Structure 1
Amino acid sequence: MVVFCFLVDQTRKIRRTKPVAGLCSRCRRGAQVADMLTATRFCCIPFYWRSWKAIICTFCGATLKSYR
């Protein structure tokens, strides 16, 4: 008998933000440069972290551009 259990979730956290000149292309509000941290877990055990920068909207939260 073979049983496969794939329970994976991914969380994104914003560590720091700085204002940036420009507007969101979706809602026309202000944007920020953010240091992001992505953590991927498998069955409640974290096994992968990645830090990256992104330009995000302050109003709708959309990721406008990412720098990996």
Structure 2
Amino acid sequence: MCLVFTCDQEDRVLATQMAPGNCPYCGGLVSCADVESEWRFCFLPFYSKTRRKYYCTFCRRKLVLHPST
């Protein structure tokens, strides 16, 4: 007897827009994207989360915002 479980994660971009500021690495423009992540277990969705990701439009680096202390 063999059990096979499949887990899958799918990311879908909901919207993109320009963000204020410049990239600290190359000075390019910063863009933000609203991304919805959905985890599936045996082809059934069981977890979904929407988050905003920032990246540079010139060098394509992911940028992380650190909360100010």
What TM-score does the superposition give when structure 1 sets the normalisation length?
A: 0.65
Larger fraction in strand: 1
Partner residue, 1:41: 40
Aligned counterparts, 1:1-68, within 5 A: 3-20=2-19, 21-23=21-23, 25=25, 30-58=29-57, 62-65=61-64
**TM-aligned CA deviation for residue 24 of structure 1:** 7.5
Aligned length: 65
- In structure 1, how many angstroms separate the alpha carbons of the residues matched to 2:24 and 2:13? 18
- In structure 2, how many angstroms separate the alpha carbons of the residues matched to 1:10 and 1:60? 26
- Cα RMSD for the two superposed structures: 2.7
What TM-score does the superposition give when structure 2 sets the normalisation length?
A: 0.64
Aligned identity (percent) is 30
- In structure 2, how many angstroms separate the alpha carbons of the residues matched to 1:43 and 1:35? 26
